[in-house]
Amino acid sequence: MIRFIQTKRYIITIILALIAIGIEYYYSTCETTCSYLRGDLLGIGLQYIGIGYMAAIIVLAVLKRDTFLLILLSAGVGVEIYLVGFQIRYDTYCLYCLAFAATLVLQFFVNCDWKRKKLIFASMAVALILFSIVFRGSVVPVYADNTPLLSHGGVLKRGIL
């Protein structure tokens, strides 16, 4: 089984990336707990970052660029550690986000070369640190995020109508 996975790892990686892109699409239609979770990276929504990330994974798999693929997947695992921790911290879980994380982790293990441990852990650590600096997330119901400003005594205040 391991030998089969190793010989077909690029195809498996591409299939998992396409599944992850599909998950991101369905996330955008979610109206349950997912609608409470919001996040962006330098003002760009995470669902768009995720689609672009998986497109890059597909390109690297097609070109068979093992080192760059391993770096990008390792960095992705570092980011997902942060994002899953964010969900745990706020006790709000998105099945789409967790499914995306699972596909990424599967891609990582399919392409993992443990002989390159330093590269793997350095990529994870750098991504985790940088992501924690530039990530902006919230766990707010959508209706509360868009409340109008009310004026009271000349002072603008947030309120719910």
What CATH number is associated with residue 103? 1.20.1440.130
Mean pLDDT (the chain, rounded): 85
Residues 6+ apart with CB under 8 A from 21: 50, 51, 54, 55
Instruction: Compute how many other C-beta atoms are within 10 angstroms of the C-beta atom of residue 74.
Output: 22
Confidence band for 138, pLDDT divided at 50, 70 and 90: confident
Confidence band for 118, pLDDT divided at 50, 70 and 90: very high
pLDDT digits (tens, 9 = 90+) for 24-78: 888 777 666 566 677 888 889 888 999 999 999 999 999 999 999 999 999 999 9
**Which residues span the domain enclosing 12?**
2-158
Contact 62, 14 (CB under 8 A): yes
Report how many domains make up the chain: 1
d(CA 8, CA 33): 36
Calculate what percentage of the chain has a pLDDT beyond 90: 58
Are β-strands 44-45 and 155-158 bridged in parallel, bridged antiparallel, or unpaired?
unpaired
Whether pLDDT at 95 is above 50: yes
Q: Structure pTM?
A: 0.81
Contact 157, 148 (CB under 8 A): no
